[in-house]
A = this chain, B = another copy of it.
Amino acid sequence: MSEYIEHDKNGVSVGLVEKKFYGFAEPPHEMTLDSGRKLGPVTIAYETYGRLDRDKSNAVLILHALSGDSHVAGYYSREDPRPGWWDIMVGPGKGIDTEKYFVVCSNILGSCMGSTGPVSIHPETGRPYGLDFPFVTIGDMVRAQKALMDHLGVERILSVVGGSIGGMQVLEWCVRYPEMVLSAIPLATTSKHSALAIAFNEVARQAIMADPRWNSGSYYDGPRPDLGLAVARMIGHITYLSDESMRLKFGRRLQGKNNFSFNFDADFQVESYLRYQGKRFVERFDANSFLYITKAADYYDLEIQHDSGSLVKAFSKARAKFLVVSFTSDWLYPTYQSRTLVRAMKKNGLDVSFCEIEAKWGHDAFLMPNERLTALIRGFLERVRRESRE
């Protein structure tokens, strides 16, 4: 079942959703990856919300970032304590209104949230792939999503929406399958990582690989590289915030003590926060998946991916209408990178709306409640829908 069934008194969706799986494609059940290697069988975990209308014109595909999953909104059960990762945006009456749109979200290839990745069983050995898992690119992730859309009978997508690494997939969709994509909303993203973004990812990877429990990726039978993965996540969390948001959120406040410990305990609240985020992350995420997905993001370069050597040429294939959004305090994918995208789109005469939203919360801003963002997305989808019927 894939519909919202009721709302609570506060209007918060308590609709139940179910994670589904799609094994593709037709035999031989495998895909040839950008690296040239073959991968199969391939399973894609996905969720859908709302109903595909009769003329199949209301599909919205949401693409998640590094550590996300297909559970974009709603709850799995009445006891489920937390809704999906973008429940503030997706649901009945929300910015992406599941009473109007048929929303699809799938877990990316290489992840560990149900889709095939390094934690999956290697058919040749009967054991988890580990580092035998082939490299996957942003392009490979998008091709797997395309197979899922084919399976769901969706031939044209009203909008592809995503932030961060999800935004890279949005851009890739527009260039790789231009005839399928009516509109696109890339949020807080870039067509290629800066040296700074690569540097942060590389240090995070080094933290994982420095953990002896990582054991060259073969740890599924024993203890996992939790300490290394926690450090990697802590590095990530710093890049998702901003100087200002950390000052507002933590400042120099101490952790339940009036004095310094004069040892290596967490004295400051920001230290406890990071340690907590690290610990929580290792309970739900796989270290090898972290390595594969960050490397895929680092490799991504839209203009090279499409053999054109120019971002303007790369977008010459696109047909979508765009809503590009950046956030003032995002220093991982700063506004100048969105402006570069917008310029290349406009040089191709594409229909582009661009908005830089004033926000304190750094890169994380795209996931935080923001009335302006909600209104922008709602209005853009309504316009695209209306124009698609004209």
Residues of A participating in the B interface, judged by any CB pair closer than 8 Å: 35, 131, 134-135, 192-196, 198-200, 202-203, 205-207, 209-212, 227-228, 230-231, 234-235, 238, 241-243, 246-247, 249-252, 260, 262-264, 266-268, 270-271, 274-275, 278, 291, 295, 298-299, 301, 331, 334
A243 to B252, CA, bound (A): 26
**If the complex has contacts A212-B212, A247-B195, are A203 and B268 also in contact, measured as CB distance less than 8 A?**
no
A214 to B228, CA, bound (A): 14
Residue contact B203 to A243, C-beta cutoff 8 Å: no
Contact of A230 (CB < 8 Å), options: B134, B206, B241, B249: B206
Which residues from chain B contact A264 at a C-beta distance below 8 Å? 131, 205, 209, 291, 295
Which residues from chain B contact A211 at a C-beta distance below 8 Å? 210
> Main SS of the interface on chain A?
helix
Contact of A35 (CB < 8 Å), options: B198, B262, B274, B331: B262
Q: Report, nearest first, the 9 A-B pairs whose CB atoms are least far apart.
A: A210-B227, A195-B246, A135-B262, A195-B250, A195-B270, A202-B271, A203-B234, A35-B262, A196-B243
Residue contact B250 to A231, C-beta cutoff 8 Å: no
Which residues from chain B contact A235 at a C-beta distance below 8 Å? 203, 235
Most B CB atoms within 10 A — which of A135, A230, A235, A249? Answer: A235
Q: Identify the closest chain B residue to A238 (Cβ).
A: B199
A280 to chain B, nearest CB (A): 15
Residue contact A249 to B195, C-beta cutoff 8 Å: yes
A365 to B24, CA, bound (A): 53
- This protein's copies in its complex: 2
Residue contact A263 to B135, C-beta cutoff 8 Å: yes
Residue contact B202 to A270, C-beta cutoff 8 Å: yes
A278 to B210, CA, bound (A): 12
Which residues from chain B contact A192 at a C-beta distance below 8 Å? 252
Question: Given contacts A198-B271, A209-B264, could you give 5 more A-B pairs where the C-beta distance is less than 8 Å?
Answer: A194-B247, A198-B270, A199-B234, A199-B271, A210-B227
Contact of A251 (CB < 8 Å), options: B195, B266, B271: B195
Residue contact B252 to A231, C-beta cutoff 8 Å: no
10 A-B Cβ contacts within 8 A? A135-B263, A192-B252, A195-B247, A196-B241, A198-B270, A202-B234, A202-B274, A205-B264, A212-B212, A243-B331
Residue contact B238 to A210, C-beta cutoff 8 Å: no
A12 to chain B, nearest CB (A): 31
Q: Identify the closest chain B residue to A248 (Cβ).
A: B195
Q: Identify the closest chain B residue to A37 (Cβ).
A: B262
A209 to B210, CA, bound (A): 12
A300 to chain B, nearest CB (A): 10
Residue contact A231 to B246, C-beta cutoff 8 Å: no
Residue contact A252 to B135, C-beta cutoff 8 Å: no
Which residues from chain B contact A241 at a C-beta distance below 8 Å? 196, 199
A25 to chain B, nearest CB (A): 23
Most B CB atoms within 10 A — which of A270, A274, A275? Answer: A270
A291 to B200, CA, bound (A): 21
A250 to B197, CA, bound (A): 12
Which residues from chain B contact A135 at a C-beta distance below 8 Å? 262-263
Which residues from chain B contact A203 at a C-beta distance below 8 Å? 231, 234-235, 238, 274
Which residues from chain B contact A249 at a C-beta distance below 8 Å? 195
A249 to B196, CA, bound (A): 11
Contact of A266 (CB < 8 Å), options: B200, B202, B231, B262: B202
A193 to B268, CA, bound (A): 11
